[in-house]
Amino acid sequence: MAYRETEKMRQRKAQARQRIIDCTYECVANGGFRSARITRIAGLAGVATGTIYRHFESREDLFAEIFRTATQREVDKVAEALDTDGNAAVRLEAALRQFAERALRGPMMAWALIAEPVDPKLEEERLVYRRAYAQLFEKAIRDGIDEGCIPDQDARQSSTCLVGAIAESLVGPLSPTLAGQITIADIDKNKLVDSIIGFCMQGLTGTRR
Amino acid sequence: MAYRETEKMRQRKAQARQRIIDCTYECVANGGFRSARITRIAGLAGVATGTIYRHFESREDLFAEIFRTATQREVDKVAEALDTDGNAAVRLEAALRQFAERALRGPMMAWALIAEPVDPKLEEERLVYRRAYAQLFEKAIRDGIDEGCIPDQDARQSSTCLVGAIAESLVGPLSPTLAGQITIADIDKNKLVDSIIGFCMQGLTGTRR
DNA sequence: ACAAGAAATGAATAATGATTCACTACTTAC
DNA sequence: GTAAGTAGTGAATCATTATTCATTTCTTGT
């Protein structure tokens, strides 16, 4: 016998894999999934196109992993914002703000995750993550109902509406056609976020603050 | 001289064009834009593929026309619902209901118009029509504010949230992966529509009814 | 240094459908 | 009936990229 996979090799491979992931991420954050070509990713990562396929089944698979990682990061941030002190309404407001503000800070990636037309497999992932957000919100709404700071309602339905309202409000500002040309001032961003949240909180609680 | 385009010919051409449109519509209503192949459309319409291109610049163009027509029909229905008697809140509620109920009645087409991943050109059309809905709602909200039945708020922002909340609430039920298998009972539909509207109206007015 | 294997390479291939265009079949005016 | 011009045809072409795989390069244990 001769060659045996060694720790050093395992690490080197893991490194290459990570570099591919990072470069894909960069490509997507730069122009969305559609414009992220395998050849370009390989070029950036400093490997041959064939090498990509030693690390990932297919382009779809690679993208799915990027999508999951990127979205999970966002979901976690929202979960974090929900897991602080204060009553449920306050915490929900913080979470909604977190969601919107982060999206506006990385608009192209946010657009890719929320609104870019993608292949069916990614679209499926997207539905999963929209549900994940909705479930976080749903839980908080239930808490709020128990606490008495949110009136009784169909928590599941309301959570879906929250996700939709935020996503829709962001799609316009995030769309690359617009976003490429227009730069959104910080003041506008704050105003945007405030008014989205105003609507959402009133939808939940019946009052704006 | 010899051949001159005559009325009869003009009509025949218009007929063929219409047949192509109808068949495309049928294809889309059946499986969305992605699965609507030119060859299939041509087959259904009883013409050669080349003939399609004597009537439309490109597949994209044909689809854009279908998209516009189909969406305009929906927008008109919503406008109609908004143009009845009653105060603005009541009319808005009727309009939201119209939107949601019609979508649930033709789920595949609604999905294609609202949520199917489509090419950039169609995606642009979609943004235009989402704005069209939002503008209708926005106008009604302003009316409501003037009338005093809706509290003062950022009408534009609220209208966007309405569109998003409804669209998001429908995406799940409309998604072909699910919708193909599960059939939504009328009772469920009614409950769904009621709870969407409950959230939306509270978002607008601060009360559920 | 060498043999046995694994990883990397990237030019060639494959797959998918939209689109073209040289040709045929019609229509019209005379 | 015929010439002039238009509409219709559909097999062949084209364009685009992801994916493959025969070959080369690198690693390892002896």
List the one residue out of B54, B24, B29, B26 whose CA is nearest residue B39. B24
Q: Within 7 Å: CB of A49 and strand D?
A: yes
The DSSP output letter for A1 is -
What pLDDT sits at residue B177? Answer: 65
Q: Answer whether B56's CB lies under 8 Å from B108's CB.
A: no
Query: Number of helices and strands (H, E) in chain B?
Result: 10, 0
* Residue A97 φ/ψ region, left for φ over 0, alpha for ψ in the -120 to 50 degree band, beta for the rest: alpha
What pLDDT sits at residue B187? Answer: 77
Number of residue pairs across A and B with CB atoms under 8 Å? Answer: 118
Written as tens digits, the pLDDT of chain B (209 aa) is: 688 888 889 999 999 999 999 999 999 999 999 999 999 999 999 999 999 999 999 999 999 999 999 999 999 999 999 999 999 999 999 999 999 999 999 999 999 999 999 999 999 999 999 999 999 999 999 999 999 999 999 999 999 999 999 999 998 888 776 555 667 777 788 889 998 999 899 888 887 65
Report the Cα B89 to chain-centroid distance in Å. Answer: 22
Contact yes or no for A203 and B199 at CB 8 A: yes
What pLDDT sits at residue B183? Answer: 73
Name the residue among A153, A165, A200 with its Cβ closest to that of B198: A153
Contacting residues for A148 by C-beta, under 8 A, at least 6 apart? none
Q: Within 7 Å: CB of B37 and strand C?
A: yes
Domains of chain A listed by start with CATH number: 1-56 (1.10.10.60), 66-205 (1.10.357.10)
The DSSP output letter for A121 is H
Q: Within 7 Å: CB of A44 and strand C?
A: no
Closest residue in B to A199 (Cα) is: B203
Model pLDDT for residues B29-39, shown as the tens digit of each residue: 999 999 999 99
Contacting residues for A66 by C-beta, under 8 A, at least 6 apart? A21, A24, A25, A28
Distance A49 CA to C13 C1' (A): 14
Q: Within 7 Å: CB of A53 and strand D?
A: yes
Which amino acid does the sequence have at B143?
D
What pLDDT sits at residue A177? Answer: 65
Contacting residues for A50 by C-beta, under 8 A, at least 6 apart? none
Rounded distance, CA A5 to CA B142, Å?
Answer: 69
Which amino acid does the sequence have at B209?
R
Contact yes or no for B127 and A171 at CB 8 A: yes
Identify residues of A whose CB sits under 8 angstroms from chain B CBs.
Answer: 117-120, 123-124, 127, 130-131, 153-154, 157-158, 160-169, 171-172, 175, 177, 192, 195-196, 198-200, 202-204, 206-208
Model pLDDT for residues A75-106, shown as the tens digit of each residue: 999 999 999 999 999 999 999 999 999 999 99
Name the residue among A165, A192, A202 with its Cβ closest to that of B165: A165
Rounded distance, CA B62 to CA B69, Å?
Answer: 11
Taking 70 as the pLDDT cut, the residues of chain A under it are 1, 177-182, 208-209
Distance B186 CA to C7 C1' (A): 58
Q: Answer whether B64's CB lies under 8 Å from B122's CB.
A: yes
Distance B172 CA to D30 C1' (A): 62
Report the Cα B49 to chain-centroid distance in Å. Answer: 27
Q: Answer whether B74's CB lies under 8 Å from B99's CB.
A: yes
What pLDDT sits at residue A176? Answer: 76
Q: Within 7 Å: CB of B5 and strand D?
A: yes
List the one residue out of B76, B165, B71 whose CA is nearest residue B109. B71
Rounded distance, CA A194 to CA A180, Å?
Answer: 23
Contacting residues for B135 by C-beta, under 8 A, at least 6 apart? B159
Distance B5 CA to D5 C1' (A): 10
